[in-house]
Amino acid sequence: MSDNFQNAVAIIAKQEEKFIKLVESSKTDVMFKNELLYASQAMMNNDYLCKCATSNPLSLRNAFSQVAAYGLTLNQSRQLAYLVPRDGQVVLDVSWRGMVKVAVNDAAIRDCIVELVYSKDKFEYRGKRQSPIHTFNPFDKKADRGEFVGCYVEASLPDGRVHVEAVTADEICAARDASELWKRKKKGPWVDFEDSMRKKSAIKIARKYWPQTGSKLDGVIQYLNTDAGEGFSTNDVPVEVVERFMGSAEVVEPEPLPTSNQADQHLEPTLQPEQTAKPGVAEPAQADDVIEGEVVRDGSQVPPPADLSDKVIKKVAEVVRRARDAKSWEPALEYVSTWPVEARNYAVTQLKSAQYAAHSQGD
């Protein structure tokens, strides 16, 4: 066995105490010794993975910690999550099956069906509260089923109802084109595992419309979008793509504020009725304080860009409110850092303004 392999296994072995504490705090049932064995098996026949692990041990520790935090397993027969090398570091690649398991464990849903639809399939959409009619021969070659037209996610909700979200091929391609990994290199999982990535993108969109979404699934998606490079790049991305990932409801649904990977807890503030009536903007800073290149004068507000939609403005107002209530400004700034340029700049301005106002009041 190579030195890289032995060193990589040693890095994980030293994390046992922290891993067990994370399992306890996250209330998952993952066994350290089992996952150490599965991780060793993954690295045993992958020299490049071992090299990435030893050259970037922090990424290996971070990836392995996600297993404990979200109740996943590296057992390859379960096909839930994998340690993979990506851009010189180790990431935990959570499969679409892993995302469903996390959502079920989090009591957001009872079960979930995720199916790709092709042009020669027989497909009848019957609304969000009825299962669609989807008929095809599962033994046909993919090429014989025609062009890819979309994906639907049928979730069984905790109250027994069904929720069906249909995601078009254009929306999935837009999500792919907006990801940092695809924009930079046109390779990676979108090339090697295209169907799985299509399903993962559909789940990311669909979960925004579920009545309940657990903090663990949000955490998994946050990790995949940032550390794993599946999220939006910092270049210009159409706002409508972000809106679809946010959800299209007129009233912003309560959801945990995404935090950094080091955060131990997710915030779950409750949205008050009066706060849904008007999207509003963050409290302005005091007179003549310069924030992100703009002067915010006392009693005034920074107007949003003319072409910024109401949905994005509402989302910004909600992020600002949660950051102010929880006094968590840095995680909020990190969250909006991957938004399209105009939306990001507006959100940063509002967050900085609200942060200054809070500090001025001694909060």
pLDDT on residue 359 = 77
Position 176 scores a pLDDT of: 86
| Contact (Cβ atoms closer than 8 angstroms) between residue 296 and residue 350 | no
Label residue 148 exposed, middle or buried (CB < 10 Å: 0-12, 13-18, 19+): middle
pTM given for the model? 0.64
Residues 6+ apart with CB under 8 A from 205: 153, 165, 167, 171, 175, 244, 245
Q: What are the residue ranges of helices labelled H in the chain? A: 3-13, 16-26, 32-44, 47-55, 57-70, 96-105, 169-178, 180-185, 189-192, 194-206, 215-226, 239-246, 273-277, 310-326, 329-336, 341-360
pLDDT value for 13:
94
Predicted local confidence at residue 59, as pLDDT: 92
Q: What is the pLDDT of residue 301?
A: 53
What per-residue confidence (pLDDT) applies to 338? 66
Tokens, residue 61 = 């520790």
| Distance in angstroms (rounded) separating the CA atoms of residues 242 and 258 | 15
Residue 121 is given by DSSP the state S
Q: Are strands 111-118 and 148-156 parallel, antiparallel or unpaired?
A: antiparallel
Q: Which amino acid is at 347?
A: A
Place of tokens 């403005």: 313
Q: What's residue 230's pLDDT? A: 79
Helix (H/G/I), strand (E/B), else coil: 20 = helix
Q: Which residues of the chain have pLDDT under 70?
A: 1, 181, 185, 231-302, 338, 362-363
- Can you tell me the distance from the alpha carbon of 258 to that of 332, in angstroms, rounded to the nearest whole number? 7
Provide the pairing of β-strand 122-124 with 111-118: unpaired
- In this structure, the dihedral spanned by the alpha carbons of residues 52, 57, 63 and 65, taken in order and rounded to 10 degrees, is 160
Q: Where are the domains of the chain?
A: 3-93, 97-233, 273-360
Taking the alpha carbons of 251, 257, 160, 162 in that order, is the dihedral positive or negative?
Answer: positive
pLDDT of residue 281: 41
Predicted confidence at residue 362, as pLDDT, reads 65
Buried b (16+ CB within 10 A) or exposed e, 167-177: bebebbbbbbe
- CB-CB contact of 252 with 318 (8 Å): yes
